[in-house]
Amino acid sequence: MSPGTIVSGHRIEAVLRHDASGITYRATGQRGPVDLTVLPADLSADPDFRRRFGRALDIAVRLRHPHLADVLGHGNDNGRLWIATTCLPGDTAGKLLRARPDGLDDASAVHIIADVGAGLDSAHRKGLVHRNVRPDTIVVAEADGTPHAVLTGFGLSRTADDARYHPANDIHSLVYTLVELLTGSAPVPDQPLPERIPPALRVVIERALGGERNLRYRTCTEFTRAAELAITLSRPGTESAGQPSAGRSPGSSGSSGSNAEEDAPATEIFDDPTIRARRLFTPRASPDRPTEVVTDRRAALQKNVAGPGPQPQPHRAARPTATPRRGRLRKAVVPILAVLAVVAVVVGGLVYLGSRNAPPGWSSAAQPIADTFPDLLPSRPGEQGWRDAGCKETTKDSVVGITCINPDNLTFVVWHTRTEAGHAAVVDDLPNRPGMARSWDEGPVFASPDTVSHGWVVTDFNDDKRRPYTVVTTWPGHTGRQVLDDWWQSAPFGP
């Protein structure tokens, strides 16, 4: 469209960018400048896409997050769908890469990904999956010398099969985007990561892309916090490896002077690269929890004492005679023993408090259910399941299950239906069974007809691990089709 064209009251000023999702213009509306994306004619004419577009935008307009582009409006103009978002200064990360084909510096790349990851987790908690995270959908501006990233493009994906997408797809795309920002090109499947990526960060990325699903990061924030920590650990002379901040300045363990010499033993112990390599990034289920860092500090400290190289000595006045060897060794070891004592007290206290405050786990009958669906169900009672659902154990005709209710009053129950009789016990009282069959590669799915106002969906599975389980989802005041569209399609069933 040429400058001056009017689209639903928005005057086109200039072209900002264009891709398969449409053309984005700088435009002026009644409320001022906006970024106006006009979708291609073929997508706009597709009834299935129009339905998904409207459903996604109904959620997107309610999202408010500093790292997500605010949706100001959307509609249809002469058969072309459009969406207006906040006017964003800056360039896309894709454009930045084209100007720097070898990639951005590590700290900037991780900072951008951390911004985007925080926005994605916010959207996931609202039930919205982006499905198109890449450098060209990230707009980056400078804020006080620090990059500020905003994710655009919710609802504009050309994905044909929504049923295959859930938040894990966005996490995977976020990892790929980080590699592209670091190296200038996306990772190649089954190929080692480029050597340009620091070893500590490479460990985090390999874990996120690994074939073992249970070891991957469960939220974007878990991944980005681990990446931030890896960047901190990779800096030479870092004073503290416990602060996962991409913007932290390098430490000064190599500086001269009496104060630096007095602090040298503790600083050098934690900056030893051999100790960094033994750190383990352990993901947590909640995006609002910090990534856990597990390290055997006691063994690391002991190895450091026995390791090669002279131990730094506290600054002291010269003496007429040399200090005996035993005295020098005592002065070198005392600070380290003090650190060991403090670490032992802290760890012991945490273990004691954790054992007292940890809530009880699931019963032996319910624990296998939680273990089989770790992204859908909490690891223990009292924690929240997917989409902030409150969960508890339940039983029906001797069939054990875990039932959850989310803030939208939607209920999903994962039943351990080992027998046909057990399966019948949990589904036979649903109205208008068997309902409408839904095509799904992973198992049989049936939804209530549109005439049933208390909609339901029954999900079974074909694989050996999940075959003994049945997920029954109900939503008062909604149809089965709405349960499929708004909950089932993005539910993290596994495998």
Q: What are the DSSP calls for 97-148, one per residue?
A: HHHSTT---HHHHHHHHHHHHHHHHHHHHTT------SGGGEEEEEETTEEE
* DSSP designation for 50: H
CB 335 within 8 A of CB 304: no
Average pLDDT, the chain: 76
* DSSP designation for 132: -
Q: Give the Cα separation of 54 and 74 in Å (integer).
A: 9
Checking if the pLDDT of 289 tops 50, the result is no
What is the CB neighbour count within 10 angstroms for residue 272? 16
Which stretch, 228-242, 289-303, 468-482, has highest mean pLDDT?
468-482
Checking if the pLDDT of 263 tops 50, the result is no
From the number of C-beta atoms within 10 Å of its C-beta (0-12, 13-18, 19+), residue 397 rates as: exposed
Q: Give the Cα separation of 84 and 35 in Å (integer).
A: 6
Residue predicted with more confidence, 280 or 13: 13
Looking at residues 430-437, what average pLDDT do you find?
A: 89
* pLDDT reported for residue 250: 34
List, for residues 187-202, the tens digit of each pLDDT value.
887 788 888 899 999 9
Q: Give the Cα separation of 433 and 342 in Å (integer).
A: 63
Residue predicted with more confidence, 310 or 171: 171
Looking at residues 6-23, what average pLDDT do you find?
A: 85
Looking at residues 261-277, what average pLDDT do you find?
A: 32
Backbone CA torsion sign across 418, 361, 291, 170: positive
pLDDT band at 222 (very low <50, low <70, confident <90, very high): very high
* DSSP designation for 136: G
Checking if the pLDDT of 252 tops 60, the result is no
Return the percentage of the chain with pLDDT > 70, whole number. 72
Q: Give the Cα separation of 402 and 284 in Å (integer).
A: 20
Looking at residues 105-127, what average pLDDT do you find?
A: 90
From the number of C-beta atoms within 10 Å of its C-beta (0-12, 13-18, 19+), residue 409 rates as: exposed
Looking at residues 144-156, what average pLDDT do you find?
A: 79
Which stretch, 21-35, 106-120, 261-275, 279-293, has highest mean pLDDT?
106-120
What is the CB neighbour count within 10 angstroms for residue 132? 22
Return the percentage of the chain with pLDDT > 90, whole number. 32
Bond from prior residue into 495 cis (ω within 30 degrees of 0): yes
Looking at residues 116-131, what average pLDDT do you find?
A: 86
pLDDT band at 245 (very low <50, low <70, confident <90, very high): very low
List, for residues 167-221, the tens digit of each pLDDT value.
888 999 999 999 999 999 888 877 888 888 999 999 999 999 887 777 888 899 9
Closest residue by Cα to residue 418 from 470, 372, 459: 470
* Edge-to-edge order in the sheet of strand 138-143: 91-92, 138-143, 146-151
Residue predicted with more confidence, 242 or 478: 478
* pLDDT reported for residue 355: 46
Checking if the pLDDT of 320 tops 60, the result is no
What is the CB neighbour count within 10 angstroms for residue 14? 8
* pLDDT reported for residue 330: 54
Checking if the pLDDT of 346 tops 70, the result is no
pLDDT band at 376 (very low <50, low <70, confident <90, very high): very high
Least confident of 88-97, 130-139, 326-335, 432-441: 326-335
Location of structure tokens 């001056």: 4
Least confident of 26-30, 39-43, 88-92, 252-256: 252-256
pTM: 0.51
